[in-house]
Amino acid sequence: MTQGFTTGMRSSNDDTWTTPRGFFDKLNDEFRFGLDAAALSGSTLVPDNWYGPDHPQLIRRDAFQRLWTIDAGNKPIWLNPPYKNYRDWETDRKSTRLNSSHLKLSRMPSSA
Protein backbone atom coordinates (compact mmCIF):
# COMPACT_ATOMS: atom_id res chain seq x y z
CA MET A 1 0.00 0.00 0.00
CA THR A 2 2.98 2.34 0.02
CA GLN A 3 3.07 2.53 -3.77
CA GLY A 4 2.52 6.10 -4.87
CA PHE A 5 3.71 7.75 -1.66
CA THR A 6 7.12 8.60 -3.10
CA THR A 7 5.86 9.87 -6.46
CA GLY A 8 5.87 13.64 -6.59
CA MET A 9 7.14 14.06 -3.03
CA ARG A 10 6.73 17.59 -1.73
CA SER A 11 8.47 19.72 0.81
CA SER A 12 7.24 19.62 4.40
CA ASN A 13 6.98 23.41 4.07
CA ASP A 14 3.77 22.84 2.11
CA ASP A 15 0.90 21.47 4.18
CA THR A 16 -1.55 20.78 1.35
CA TRP A 17 -0.51 17.23 0.61
CA THR A 18 -3.34 15.08 -0.68
CA THR A 19 -3.75 11.42 0.16
CA PRO A 20 -3.09 9.34 -2.96
CA ARG A 21 -6.48 8.49 -4.47
CA GLY A 22 -5.71 4.79 -4.93
CA PHE A 23 -4.70 4.44 -1.28
CA PHE A 24 -7.86 6.17 -0.09
CA ASP A 25 -10.10 4.20 -2.48
CA LYS A 26 -8.86 0.88 -1.07
CA LEU A 27 -9.68 1.99 2.46
CA ASN A 28 -12.97 3.56 1.45
CA ASP A 29 -14.08 0.34 -0.26
CA GLU A 30 -13.94 -1.28 3.16
CA PHE A 31 -14.95 1.53 5.52
CA ARG A 32 -17.20 3.88 3.48
CA PHE A 33 -16.12 7.16 5.07
CA GLY A 34 -18.86 9.64 5.86
CA LEU A 35 -16.70 12.74 6.30
CA ASP A 36 -13.37 14.20 5.21
CA ALA A 37 -12.54 16.31 8.26
CA ALA A 38 -9.63 18.31 6.78
CA ALA A 39 -9.91 19.03 3.08
CA LEU A 40 -9.84 21.66 0.38
CA SER A 41 -12.54 21.99 -2.24
CA GLY A 42 -10.24 20.69 -4.96
CA SER A 43 -8.90 17.73 -3.01
CA THR A 44 -11.63 16.41 -0.74
CA LEU A 45 -11.94 12.65 -0.79
CA VAL A 46 -15.53 12.69 0.49
CA PRO A 47 -16.96 15.37 -1.83
CA ASP A 48 -20.48 15.24 -0.40
CA ASN A 49 -19.34 15.87 3.19
CA TRP A 50 -16.16 17.69 4.16
CA TYR A 51 -14.71 20.53 6.21
CA GLY A 52 -12.14 22.99 4.94
CA PRO A 53 -11.10 26.63 4.86
CA ASP A 54 -12.53 27.11 1.37
CA HIS A 55 -15.82 25.29 1.93
CA PRO A 56 -18.72 27.23 0.37
CA GLN A 57 -20.69 26.97 3.64
CA LEU A 58 -19.13 29.19 6.29
CA ILE A 59 -20.15 26.86 9.14
CA ARG A 60 -18.10 24.03 7.60
CA ARG A 61 -14.83 25.98 7.33
CA ASP A 62 -13.62 25.25 10.88
CA ALA A 63 -13.59 21.57 11.77
CA PHE A 64 -12.76 22.38 15.39
CA GLN A 65 -16.21 23.93 15.77
CA ARG A 66 -18.14 20.94 14.43
CA LEU A 67 -19.38 17.65 15.91
CA TRP A 68 -17.70 15.21 13.57
CA THR A 69 -19.62 12.03 14.36
CA ILE A 70 -22.95 13.77 13.90
CA ASP A 71 -21.88 15.42 10.64
CA ALA A 72 -20.54 12.06 9.43
CA GLY A 73 -23.90 10.43 10.01
CA ASN A 74 -22.22 8.00 12.44
CA LYS A 75 -20.00 6.71 9.62
CA PRO A 76 -16.20 6.46 9.78
CA ILE A 77 -14.25 9.71 9.41
CA TRP A 78 -11.22 10.32 7.21
CA LEU A 79 -8.61 12.78 8.44
CA ASN A 80 -5.37 13.83 6.76
CA PRO A 81 -4.73 17.14 8.55
CA PRO A 82 -2.45 19.97 7.51
CA TYR A 83 1.05 19.27 8.73
CA LYS A 84 1.81 22.76 10.02
CA ASN A 85 -0.60 22.42 12.97
CA TYR A 86 -0.79 18.64 13.25
CA ARG A 87 -0.56 18.69 17.03
CA ASP A 88 -3.72 20.82 17.23
CA TRP A 89 -5.53 18.17 15.21
CA GLU A 90 -4.11 15.34 17.29
CA THR A 91 -5.25 17.04 20.50
CA ASP A 92 -8.72 17.60 19.07
CA ARG A 93 -8.91 13.99 17.88
CA LYS A 94 -8.54 12.85 21.46
CA SER A 95 -11.33 15.13 22.64
CA THR A 96 -14.99 14.26 22.82
CA ARG A 97 -15.44 15.38 19.21
CA LEU A 98 -15.21 11.72 18.20
CA ASN A 99 -17.08 8.81 19.68
CA SER A 100 -14.50 6.09 20.32
CA SER A 101 -16.56 3.59 18.33
CA HIS A 102 -15.96 5.54 15.11
CA LEU A 103 -12.92 4.66 13.07
CA LYS A 104 -10.87 7.67 12.16
CA LEU A 105 -7.82 7.35 10.02
CA SER A 106 -5.08 9.90 9.75
CA ARG A 107 -1.61 10.06 8.30
CA MET A 108 1.26 11.16 10.48
CA PRO A 109 3.65 13.82 9.21
CA SER A 110 7.11 12.65 8.19
CA SER A 111 8.63 14.60 11.07
CA ALA A 112 6.50 15.11 14.16
- In the sheet with 35-36, reading across from the earlier edge strand, the strands are 35-36, 77-78, 104-105
What string of pLDDT tens digits covers the 112 residues of the chain? 444 444 444 555 666 778 889 989 999 999 999 999 999 999 999 999 999 999 999 999 999 899 888 999 989 889 888 767 666 666 655 554 555 455 455 554 454 4
Spell out a b/e string for 70-90, using b for 16 or more CB atoms within 10 Å of the CB, else e: ebbeebbbbbbbbbeebeebe
pTM of the model as a whole: 0.73
